[in-house]
Amino acid sequence: MLEIETRKFGRIEVDEAKIVVMPDGMLGFESYKRYVLIQEKIMEPFKLYQAVDNPDLAFFVIDPFLVIEDYAIDQHRVLKAASWRRDDDISYLAVVTIPAHRPDQMTVNLMGPIAINNAKKESYQLILENSGYPLKHSLFPG
């Protein structure tokens, strides 16, 4: 077990085997390579993608297929870009932005999902160019 500091939950213990390495980091935060996914019942359906080495760097994330049922990612492109195999267990997350004091205006980035290889504990942030998916998709349209 590894003890890490988080802004949202204070000091927590995480299983080192659950640390996900992002060789390229997140866009804009390339120097942070290790993350852990924090799942708390109170936050469902959201999770927290917490940087292991920076307590102030964390992203709320959601399964993009919960946002758009027919969300499509070119799996072949993902496998090729990451050098993963077809039978690898891959899951996807989309980063959520929650404006201060305006949760009704929260958006999800469907253009830049995170692909996680659950077996390798490795992840990459993808850029789905020409996909038609927006950078800021409202979670509460209307």
pLDDT at residue 142 in the model: 64
Q: Per-residue pLDDT tens, the chain, 142 aa: give them.
A: 889 988 888 899 999 999 999 999 999 999 999 999 999 898 899 999 999 999 999 999 999 999 999 999 887 777 777 788 777 789 999 999 999 899 899 999 999 999 999 999 999 999 888 888 999 999 887 6
Tell me the C-alpha to C-alpha distance, in Å, between residue 30 and each of 8, 22, 98, 132.
22, 9, 22, 25
Where do the structural domains in the chain lie, given as residue ranges?
Answer: 2-138
User: For the whole prediction, is pTM greater than 0.85?
Assistant: yes
Query: For strand 90-97 and strand 107-108, is the pairing parallel, antiparallel, or unpaired?
Result: antiparallel
CATH code of the region 2-138: 2.30.290.10
Q: How far is CA 133 from the centre of its chain?
A: 16
